[in-house]
C-alpha cells in the first residue's frame, strides 16, 4: 500500500522534519509513493521543492502550479498545500523542509524580526514559483541542487554547508520580496510594530521560566491588555498564550535530550507548574510524550556517533 501524510484534525502534519539538533529534512520523493497525490496538510516549517523528473500539480491556498523538470516552488510557513500527478506519469522531486529558526537563532533577534518574520507572516503569499530563468530564482534552484549534492555526499561538514545554502536562499527571497517593497516606498520610517514585538519576545525569552501575566507583558510596550493581545495575534499569527506555551516547550527540548532530569523538574524549569499539563501540551505540539522525545533524541545522537 502507498504511504500517506499523517495529519491531526487541523491538517497539521505530524511527521518531524529533521530533529531538534538540526531542524532540516532533505528527501527525494515520488508521487507514486503517496498513491499519486499527497493530502492537504500544513506545517510551521518552510518547504522548498525542485522537480527532477515528471510533472506535478502543486496547490497552495487557492493557486495551483504545474511544475515541470527544473522548476521549483517556495511554500511558506503554515501554508496549506497538496500535490498530485499531472496525468498518469510519476513525478520525482527533491523536498527541503526546514524550521526557519535555523536562520535566525532565537525569536527576539534582529535576524528574525527584520529578515524572517516579514516573509513568514505574509499570508497573501502562501507559495511562489521558482523558475530557471537565469535570474535570482535560478540561483535559489542552484542552491537547492547544492543542498541535495552535499546531503548525498554526507561529508563531515554537511550541516554547515546546508545551513549556508539555506541562508543564501533566504537572502535571495528577502531581497526580491520584502526588501524590494521597502525600497519602493516613498518614505522610509521606523517600524514601531517591529520594535514592539521584539520587546515582547525579549521579555518572554527572559522570563519564560517564571509566572508571566498579561499585565506584565502589556506594560513592556505601554498598551492595554486587549490591544496587546490583538497586536500580538495580528503580527505573529498566533495568540500570545499559544506562543508562550510553544516557546516553553521548545526550551525544554535540550533539557530532555541532554540530561536525565525528571519530567517534573524539566517542566518546572520551563514555566510549567503541573508536569501532567506539561506532558499534555508537549504531546499536542510535538506528537509524542517528553519521554518518547528523549528516547528518539538519544537514538538519533547515537546513530550520528557511529
pLDDT tens-place string over residues 225-239: 999 999 988 877 779
Average pLDDT over residues 149-163: 95
> pLDDT tens digit string along 241-284?
998 998 899 889 889 988 899 999 999 999 999 999 999 999 98
Q: Exposed (0-12), middle (13-18) or buried (19+): which is 115, by Cβ within 10 Å?
A: buried
- Please report the pLDDT score of residue 58 as a whole number: 95
- Please report the pLDDT score of residue 36 as a whole number: 87
Higher pLDDT, 230 or 182: 230
Residue percentage of the chain with pLDDT more than 90: 57
Beta bridge partners of 30: 92
Residue percentage of the chain with pLDDT more than 70: 92
Distance CA 169, CA 163 (A): 10
- Please report the pLDDT score of residue 65 as a whole number: 95
- Please report the pLDDT score of residue 50 as a whole number: 97
- Please report the pLDDT score of residue 1 as a whole number: 38
- Please report the pLDDT score of residue 139 as a whole number: 96
> pLDDT tens digit string along 109-133?
889 989 999 898 887 788 999 999 8
Higher pLDDT, 284 or 185: 284
- Please report the pLDDT score of residue 190 as a whole number: 41
Does the pLDDT of residue 102 top 90, yes or no?
yes
Contacts of 264 by beta carbon, 8 Å cutoff, 6+ apart: 275
**Which of the four pLDDT bands, split at 50, 70 and 90, describes residue 304?**
low
**Which of the four pLDDT bands, split at 50, 70 and 90, describes residue 187?**
very low
Write down all domains in the chain, each with its CATH number in brackets.
Answer: 24-181 (2.60.120.280), 192-305 (1.10.10.60)
- Please report the pLDDT score of residue 20 as a whole number: 82
- Please report the pLDDT score of residue 213 as a whole number: 94
Distance CA 47, CA 94 (A): 10
This prediction has a pTM of: 0.72
Which pairing describes strands 92-98 and 63-67: parallel, antiparallel, or unpaired? Answer: unpaired
Amino acid at each position: 500500500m502507498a504511504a500517506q501524510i499523517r495529519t491531526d484534525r487541523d491538517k497539521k502534519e505530524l511527521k518531524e522534519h529533521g530533529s531538534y539538533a538540526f531542524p532540516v529534512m532533505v528527501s527525494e520523493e515520488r508521487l507514486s509513493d503517496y498513491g499519486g497525490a499527497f493530502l492537504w496538510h500544513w506545517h510551521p516549517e518552510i518547504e522548498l521543492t525542485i522537480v527532477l523528473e515528471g510533472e506535478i500539480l502543486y496547490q497552495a491556498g487557492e493557486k495551483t502550479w504545474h511544475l515541470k523538470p527544473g522548476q521549483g516552488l517556495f511554500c511558506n510557513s503554515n501554508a496549506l498545500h497538496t500535490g498530485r500527478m499531472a496525468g498518469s506519469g510519476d513525478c520525482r522531486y527533491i523536498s527541503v523542509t526546514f524550521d526557519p529558526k535555523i536562520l535566525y537563532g532565537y525569536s527576539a533577534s534582529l535576524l528574525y524580526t527584520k529578515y524572517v518574520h516579514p516573509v513568514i507572516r505574509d499570508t497573501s503569499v502562501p507559495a511562489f514559483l521558482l523558475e530557471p530563468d537565469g535570474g535570482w530564482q535560478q540561483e535559489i534552484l542552484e542552491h537547492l541542487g547544492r543542498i541535495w549534492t552535499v546531503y548525498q555526499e554526507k561529508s563531515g561538514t554537511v550541516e554547515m554547508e546546508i545551513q549556508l545554502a539555506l541562508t543564501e536562499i533566504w537572502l535571495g527571497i528577502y531581497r526580491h520580496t520584502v526588501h524590494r517593497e521597502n525600497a519602493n516606498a516613498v518614505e522610509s520610517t521606523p517600524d514601531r510594530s517591529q520594535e514592539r514585538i521584539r520587546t515582547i519576545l525579549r521579555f518572554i525569552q527572559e522570563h519564560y521560566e517564571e509566572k508571566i501575566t498579561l499585565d506584565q507583558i502589556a506594560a513592556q510596550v505601554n498598551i492595554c491588555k486587549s490591544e496587546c493581545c490583538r497586536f500580538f495575534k495580528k503580527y505573529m499569527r498566533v495568540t500570545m498564550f499559544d506562543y508562550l506555551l510553544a516557546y516553553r516547550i521548545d526550551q525544554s527540548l535540550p533539557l530532555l535530550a541532554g540530561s536525565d532530569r525528571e519530567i517534573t523538574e524539566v517542566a518546572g524549569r520551563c514555566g510549567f507548574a503541573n508536569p501532567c499539563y506539561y506532558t499534555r501540551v508537549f504531546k499536542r505540539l510535538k506528537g509524542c510524550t517528553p519521554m518518547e522525545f528523549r528516547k528518539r533524541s538519544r537514538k538519533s545522537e547515537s546513530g550520528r556517533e557511529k
